Amino acid sequence: MWNWWTARKRRKWAELSFPQDWEETLHSDYAEWSRISPEMKSSIKRFIQIFIREKNWEGCGGLQLTDTMKVLISAQVGMMVSALGPIYFDHVLSILVYPDAYRAPNSTQNQMGIVTDRGSARMGEAWWQGPVILSWRHSLEGARNIDAENLVYHEFSHQIDMMNGRFVDGTPPMASEDEYQSWSQVMNHGYDQLRTRIRQREPSVIRRYGLTNPGEFFAVSTEAFFSAPGQLLIEYPEVYQSLQTYYRQDPASRRDSLREQRRA
């Protein structure tokens, strides 16, 4: 019954007229919007209509949350899953948005059982069956494509990672054991490439934070795939091809095509 009711609501929301001010927001502040096809735009707009209405949105730290903020965050999430079918992150309950980086509690316990509470500065977090927490400043910078970093892509790649269980292990759901094996081989090799680049002080479009663990490598690679695809293809061609196969998109080709159109 729940599945039937949810599907019915989503169909209703998807059929609503897309607000003109939302459209203007995408044109003015989401750099990727000018690079994608009309079909992909339609898919993302359907996603936005549903995602905004289905999630619990909260402004934190004094932030007054607006439709503009919701639209730009939702558009970036929609871009990631636009070719993957009807994925609306049912396990994500809320989106919490701070104006900027925020301090989060961090408790540690030593061998004697003494708990020490510390605060750490964060731009975002992703929790299983809980909220995604985002800094609005960094979410906006990612939408405007200021550099290869993108907070929304990063945190929601963790949520994609967790779709095959609650653990962030750097491997999203796959259709077969062969796909898992191929993915693991390519990502392990990419991880080793990143480590070598960092040791040799070579520049890398995949940030060194990806060396933290396989989950973070997948997250920062996803950031690069959508935000700096041409550079990722040059530096880590196998990683690019694996992400292209998984996300069913080719953003590097998309940008090359746009450049050719502009020359013409």
- Give domain limits for the chain: 169-264
Top-confidence residue, 109 or 220: 220
Q: What percent of the chain has pLDDT over 90?
A: 76
Residue-wise DSSP of 97-153: EESS-EEEEEEEE-TT--EEEEEEEESEEE-TTSEEEEEHHHHHHHHTT-SS--HHH
Cβ burial of 19 (10 Å; 0-12, 13-18, 19+) is: middle
pTM for the full predicted model: 0.90
Q: How confident is the model at residue 37 (pLDDT cuts 50, 70, 90)?
A: very high
Q: Residues with Cβ < 8 Å from 29, sequence gap 6 or more?
A: 68, 72, 140, 143, 144
Q: DSSP strand E in the chain: where?
A: 56-59, 94-98, 102-109, 115-122, 124-126, 131-135
Q: Please name which of 146, 16, 143, 147 lies closest in space to residue 80, comparing C-alpha atoms.
A: 143
Rounded to whole angstroms, how far apart are CA atoms 154 and 225? 11
Please say if the pLDDT value at position 117 is more than 80.
Answer: no
pLDDT of amino acid 120: 62
Integer Cα distance of 23 and 205 in angstroms: 31
Quick one: pLDDT at residue 2?
61
Contacts of residue 79, Cβ cutoff 8 Å, sequence gap at least 6: 32, 36, 44, 226
Q: What is the pLDDT of residue 229?
A: 96
The confidence score (pLDDT) of residue 157 equals 95
pLDDT at 258 (0 to 100): 52
**Cα(224)–Cα(116) distance, integer angstroms:** 36
Return the CATH fold of 169-264: Collagenase (Catalytic Domain) (3.40.390)
- Chain mean pLDDT for the chain: 89
- Report which of 134, 144, 146, 140 is spatially closest to residue 55, judged by C-alpha positions: 134
Q: pLDDT tens across 41-53, in order?
A: 999 999 999 999 9
